[in-house]
Structure 1
Amino acid sequence: MQLLAQQLVNGIALGSIYALFAIGFSLILAKMGILNVAHGTFATWGALSSYWLVSEHGMNFWLALVAGVAFAGLLGVLSDLLAFEPLRRRNAGVFAPIIASIGIWIVLLTLAEAFSGPAATSYPTESVPTEPIRLFGLLMLPAQVISVITLVLVVTAIHVLLTHTRFGAAVRAVAVDPRSATIVGVNARRTLVTVAFLAAAIAGLAGILAALSDNNVSSSLGEALLLKGFAAVVVGGYGDIRGAALVGVAIGVLEVLSAQYISSGFRDAITFGVLLLVLVVRPQGLFGERQLVRA
């Protein structure tokens, strides 16, 4: 029983990172209508930039974390202004932004590989908190505690921002119809740029926490997050941040329990098999609304 409880804690901590990434992915997919496959590279660059500041310049980890999150957000803004905004102005449709995001992904991944080199590395141990914490007889690493707390704070902040502020009302209006939103006084471009920053910044935060938890900083860090985050968004329900977060946590728990009690080699197969069954039963996702399609 103690082992099960410990693995549940480990799974929730891992799932918190997936959930964070999924929240950012859900924002940009639901509010901007873009399936941005470059989103994983924002996580990668958040981790790489914070690692560089800590290891090369001796910056305090917490300051480097803030800087890495901001840098990832800036990459999101640049991607939107240089690629997605021109396509929106031309009403380029659904597929052009996907192709554009693939191009952004390749460019940012290539730059990350050139910047970091082929070998993975880790934060200097003296620069980050590493002493295990015992809670109710269970051991948690500081990175795990930070991940869970961060998820709770981010979910709460995003919920309040989108449902109880004028900015949230503007985001919802632009997501439904940008032109109509502009007519009633909403600055659609500024709203979308802000969403792009928030989504990429959250991805950068997830990347930093993933690097801290795995003790591994590499150019491929964002690839696994992209796959798990996309699965969480789809299974949670299109555009439902609560659903994306809950399914992200569930994916982490499934991974850890599968590795512990079945086989680490079948971890991903079991996890995605369960998610597939959920979609068969509820194609709209756990928290999505069923849409009627007329023939």
Structure 2
Amino acid sequence: MQLFLEQLINGVSLGSLYALFGIGFGLVFATLGILNTAHGAYASWAAILGYYAVEWLQVPFPMAVVIGTVGGGLIAIIVDQVGFQPLRGRKGGMLGALITSIAFLIVLDSLAGTATGHQSWAFRPGHYPDGLIDFGPIRVPQMQVIIIAAMLIVGIGMHLLVQRTRIGAAMRAVGWNEEAASLGGVNARVVILITAFLAGATSGLAGVLGGAATANISYQLGEGLLLKGFAAVVVGGFNDVRGTIIAGVLLGVTEVFVSQYLSSTYRDGVTYVLLLGFLFLRPRGLFGSGSFIRA
């Protein structure tokens, strides 16, 4: 029973990273209509910035998390304005945006590889929360508790933002029809900037926390999050934050249990079977509607 509970928490923590990453990924697709593969690079760079902040600038880990999160958001804004904004003016469409995002992913990953010397880094002991917390018969790493708490706070906050605020209504309006939203008085340019920042920031948060928890800060960090985060969004629904959270956690728990009780060989395979199954049988996901979010 103790082993089961430990693996369950491992799975929930892993799935929380997928959900954190997927929230922003799905937000960009639902609001801006962009399948942004460069989203993975935001996580990698945020983790690198967080590492620099702790190990070079000697700032506390919580401040490094803020630096990485904000850095991810700012990088996302730069990519959006340099790469995607010109396409909007020319009506480049989803394919043009996808190709552009792939180009940015390659460039950002290459720069991240250069910055890290194509090596994997890790925070030194004591420079991040590396202790254990006792929960009855089990001991849980502090980083896992932090990741789960961050996912819940961000997930609830993002859901309330999108569904209960004026900026959320504006985001939903732009997601439904940008031109109509502009005619209705919505400043689409500002909404786009806010959306890009929020998406990059959530990806950055997942990158910093995930890099610390797994001792894997590298240019490849975002690639794994990109694939699994995309799976969480597809399974949960592109336009539903709650669905992404539930799907991300389910994917994480499934992966951990498959590794523990079957074989780690099947770990990724199960995720991709679920992904393909939903793409074919229910492409809108468990909770998503058949279109972009509506105002």
Please confirm whether the aligned pair reaches a TM-score higher than 0.5, indicating the same fold. Answer: yes
Match of 1:87 in 2: 87
Aligned partner of residue 134 in structure 2, secondary structure: strand
Matches of 2:186 and 2:29 in 1, distance apart?
20
Q: CA 1:78–1:240 in 2, change beyond 3 Å: closer, same or farther?
A: same
Match of 2:130 in 1: 130
* CA shift for structure 1 position 271: 2.9
Matches of 1:270 and 1:170 in 2, distance apart?
37
* CA shift for structure 1 position 90: 1.1
Give yes or no for contact 2:113–2:119 (8 Å, CA) kept in 1: no
Matches of 1:123 and 1:273 in 2, distance apart?
34
One-letter code of the match for 1:270? Answer: V
Match of 1:7 in 2: 7
Q: What 5-or-longer segments of structure 1 have no aligned partner? A: none
Superposition CA RMSD, Å: 1.3
Aligned partner of residue 288 in structure 2, secondary structure: coil
Match of 2:107 in 1: 107
Using the aligned pairs only, state the percent identity: 44
Matches of 1:11 and 1:211 in 2, distance apart?
16
The one-character-per-residue Cα deviations of 1:161-204 (angstroms, maximum 9, x if unpaired) are: 11111101111111111111111211100101110000001000
Give yes or no for contact 2:27–2:238 (8 Å, CA) kept in 1: no
Note the 1:11-90 alignment, pairs <5 A. 11-90=11-90
* CA shift for structure 1 position 289: 3.2
Q: CA 1:158–1:290 in 2, change beyond 3 Å: closer, same or farther?
A: closer
Matches of 1:211 and 1:224 in 2, distance apart?
12
Matches of 1:279 and 1:40 in 2, distance apart?
21
Matches of 2:231 and 2:50 in 1, distance apart?
27
* CA shift for structure 1 position 16: 0.4
Matches of 1:254 and 1:63 in 2, distance apart?
33
The one-character-per-residue Cα deviations of 1:209-228 (angstroms, maximum 9, x if unpaired) are: 11111012111000000000
One-letter code of the match for 1:132? Answer: L
* CA shift for structure 1 position 272: 2.4
Give yes or no for contact 2:41–2:223 (8 Å, CA) kept in 1: yes
Q: TM-score, normalised by structure 2?
A: 0.95
* CA shift for structure 1 position 5: 1.5
Matches of 1:244 and 1:3 in 2, distance apart?
27
Matches of 2:238 and 2:68 in 1, distance apart?
28
Matches of 1:31 and 1:51 in 2, distance apart?
31
Q: CA 1:279–1:108 in 2, change beyond 3 Å: closer, same or farther?
A: closer
Matches of 1:105 and 1:136 in 2, distance apart?
44
Matches of 1:246 and 1:97 in 2, distance apart?
28
What is the aligned residue count? 291
Matches of 2:66 and 2:157 in 1, distance apart?
16
The one-character-per-residue Cα deviations of 1:100-147 (angstroms, maximum 9, x if unpaired) are: 101111110111001011221101212111111111222210110000
Aligned partner of residue 127 in structure 1, secondary structure: coil
One-letter code of the match for 1:80? Answer: D
* CA shift for structure 1 position 151: 0.6
Aligned partner of residue 124 in structure 1, secondary structure: coil
Give yes or no for contact 2:239–2:289 (8 Å, CA) kept in 1: no
Q: CA 1:162–1:259 in 2, change beyond 3 Å: closer, same or farther?
A: same
Which deviates more from structure 2 when the two are superposed, residues 30-39 or residues 263-272? 263-272
* CA shift for structure 1 position 283: 3.6
* CA shift for structure 1 position 275: 4.1
Aligned partner of residue 125 in structure 1, secondary structure: coil
* CA shift for structure 1 position 278: 4.8
Match of 1:183 in 2: 183
